Amino acid sequence: MMNNKANEISSGQVFIFVVSGQIGFGILSLASTLAEDVGHDGWIAIAFAGLITALLICMIVATLKRFDNITIIEINNIIFGKYIGRVLSLFIIAYLTYTAVLMMRKFNDIIKISALRLTPSIVLTSFLIIPIVYLSWYGLKYICRYSTLKIILILTVVLYYMLLLKYLRFTFLQPIGAAGGMKIIKVSFSPFTSFIGYELLTFIYPYIKDKKKVLKSALYANAFTVAFYIITVAFLTGFFGETMLEQLIYPVFSLARAYRAPVFERLDLFFISLWFPIMVSTVLVYYFCAYNSLKRLFNIENNKPKSKILIWSFTIMVVLLSRLPRDMIQLNTLFDQLGYIATVYVGFIFICYALSFIKRRKKKNEKAS
């Protein structure tokens, strides 16, 4: 079970992996954040932001190609030496854990708000984390297999939008570009938490079988995410109108509440159930990357008993840490900051990329002399 084959994935699964990292929590409130900034032109800003993300993905893959077959953990060791490298790796793992923790908390909060108000959070979180831990224990291949479900569910969500198509007012989306081109572009440069997830490629690169197609799959995944975001944001804007959209915390869930279904009347719980597995897989990929990087850092990838201790303690840590944010406001602030942290991390990868040239030149010089 702990053999490396369990982690091996195909390039098609890279697509699923990147989509899993991206779609999940950010999109739930993305539309209202954008409505505050650029009114009804949010979808244009997303298209731009998607292009920027695509560029970043290209650069990340280029970096990874230079260091064939290793993750960022080993890259740190190579570039910064054993000790500094390890400290940096710990910081990076802390970032992953932090993201996983915040997502877990958000997951818990969403479930609490929408269905189980009185259930103690600690109990709920411990139950929500079960499938996450279970899949992480077995490996990347199974995570990607599970996450295939996510693609199907996202398509189902789009179908759900279709139910409400006749209530859509296209005038709410017009005039296009009313917020002003500069403003839209400026907003599209702001780091969205909704887009993070692509940077996880740096943690799974060695497990990909067909490395030639990585870039293509990752870009396709980004395109898929962007397409879904554009549809969602445009739809929400066209449905609610920008003024009302600004007032909503989770406009996607509010949309689910707006459809009066025949016989059952309310489909909001149905929608939560639909979104649940999507959220699971988002936490899952972050959780897995943090856990797996820890294993690589301590060099216990093939050591089953030690991995067991690690996963138990890591899980307990995530559950307990997820209780730390005080309230919803703090959580949302922290959550929005994730985009910035991810950007810093991507910047760090590029520094590694630049340093790798210096390192190589040094080596060449040494050889030459």
Please give the residue ranges that form the binding site for other proteins (CB under 8 A).
13, 111, 113-120, 123-124, 127-128, 130-131, 134-135, 138, 142, 145-146, 148-149, 167, 169-172, 174-175, 178, 239-241, 243-244, 247, 253-254, 257-260, 263-266, 268-269, 272-273, 276-277, 280
Cβ distance to other proteins smaller for residue 162 or 263:
263
Task: Tell me how far, at minimum, the Cβ of 106 lies from other proteins, in Å.
Answer: 15
Cβ distance to other proteins smaller for residue 146 or 205:
146
Task: Tell me how far, at minimum, the Cβ of 112 lies from other proteins, in Å.
Answer: 10
Query: Cβ neighbours of residue 310 under 8 Å, at least 6 residues apart?
Result: 291, 294, 295, 298, 300
Task: Tell me how far, at minimum, the Cβ of 153 lies from other proteins, in Å.
Answer: 11
Q: What DSSP character marks residue 194?
A: G
**In the structure encoding, which two tokens stand for residue 214, read together?**
């990585």
Tell me how long the chain is: 369
What are the E-state strand segments in the chain?
260-261, 265-266
CA 21-297-199 angle, 5° bins:
25
Cβ distance to other proteins smaller for residue 10 or 190:
10
Cβ distance to other proteins smaller for residue 22 or 136:
136
CA 229-252-331 angle, 5° bins:
95
Query: Cβ neighbours of residue 287 under 8 Å, at least 6 residues apart?
Result: 100, 104, 132, 133, 136, 318
Between CA 96 and CA 358 the distance in angstroms is: 28
Query: Cβ neighbours of residue 120 under 8 Å, at least 6 residues apart?
Result: none
Task: Tell me how far, at minimum, the Cβ of 167 lies from other proteins, in Å.
Answer: 8
Between CA 151 and CA 132 the distance in angstroms is: 18
Cβ distance to other proteins smaller for residue 74 or 246:
246
Task: Tell me how far, at minimum, the Cβ of 247 lies from other proteins, in Å.
Answer: 7
Continuous segment of H or E residues that includes residue 39? none
Q: Report DSSP letters for 225-261, one per residue.
A: HHHHHHHHHHHHHHHH-HHHHHH-SSHHHHHHHT-EE
One-letter amino acid identity for 51?
L
Task: Tell me how far, at minimum, the Cβ of 48 lies from other proteins, in Å.
Answer: 21
Cβ distance to other proteins smaller for residue 146 or 314:
146
Cβ distance to other proteins smaller for residue 265 or 366:
265
Cβ distance to other proteins smaller for residue 42 or 85:
42
Closest among 96, 25, 95, 101 to 318, alpha carbons compared: 101
Between CA 224 and CA 259 the distance in angstroms is: 26
Task: Tell me how far, at minimum, the Cβ of 63 lies from other proteins, in Å.
Answer: 29
Query: Cβ neighbours of residue 212 under 8 Å, at least 6 residues apart?
Result: 11
Task: Tell me how far, at minimum, the Cβ of 128 lies from other proteins, in Å.
Answer: 7
